[in-house]
Amino acid sequence: MFLVFVLAALIWWGGQRMGMPRSTRLMLLAGLYGVVLLLHLVLPDWHPLRMATGKTPALWLMLGGAGVVVFAYRLLLVRLRGRAQAREAESAPPPKAGSFSDTELNRYARHIVLRELGGPGQKALKQAKVLVVGAGGLGAPVLQYLAAAGVGTIGVIDDDVVENANLQRQVIHRDADIGLAKVFSAEAAMSAQNPYVVVKPYNRRLTEDIAPDLIADYDLVLDGCDNFETRYLVNRICVAAKIPLISGALSQWEGQLSVFDPANGAPCYQCVFDAAPAPELAPNCAAAGVVGPLPGVVGAMMAMEAIKVITDAGAALRGDMLIHDALYGESRKIKVTRRTDCPTCGLQ
């Protein structure tokens, strides 16, 4: 029996040190428990394996029952926390359509004194509706800065839950949020930071059937997702709806971003990335790794571009791609152009 507990400890803490997701470790523990219980149910009493694992299944059945109770209790707490956070968000003061309150004026004073923004720019931010695809590495800083800047309506769509391995870089989530849907964790953090913005969480995957109607409700889309299928989908819908798309990507020590806006002469995403690379050439963060602050750097740049697009301040990255190399502290811009043979925007 002692050996079973040692093996369970190795799975849990050893897997954690190896970067194994919490859900995978729980599945392995459940598998180990199932094997041990099955041995007790099918093997005779005198069998050495039964003798070595506690002789009787009664103890294992009790442990399994206790585990089910703990799991159900934790699930109940997560759901109650999500409902409480949703009620808190609903009770927050709604944003005013016209004038700013004294609190808002004081909050956004550093924006208002900027010649390029001023009161009209801050009003444009307040009236803007922005959709963020993904509440992970890039989505976390994007959402935080858009909420802090006073963007009036912020939608966020993601079907993932917060895991321990996310917290090294996804700073909008906390340790207490592990197991909670990322969109609800992000919503709670944004509403706590700025109760004068409306946050609309969509706890589901962005798919072909919902993307057109969802994106049509927004003025601007920021894409920080981690798969090419969704990137191409978002690009197609944004091009069709003539909605600007700010897209960012990360790998290890390097990040990149651009404003894809064919309606204003810039290329679309597929003009630059004609086809998705082979999986081994573009591994995700779990396989390739990513340095913790890099999503914050690139995500903050994406939020900066969003503010510029909304307020028409300065020169947004339309027709330019910014590449940041964190390992050597270098940033560079390259020109990107529309392709007449682009299957998404070439005929527009």
Residues with catalytic roles: 285
**CA distances to 140, 163, 205, 212, 293 from 167, in Å:** 11, 7, 21, 32, 11
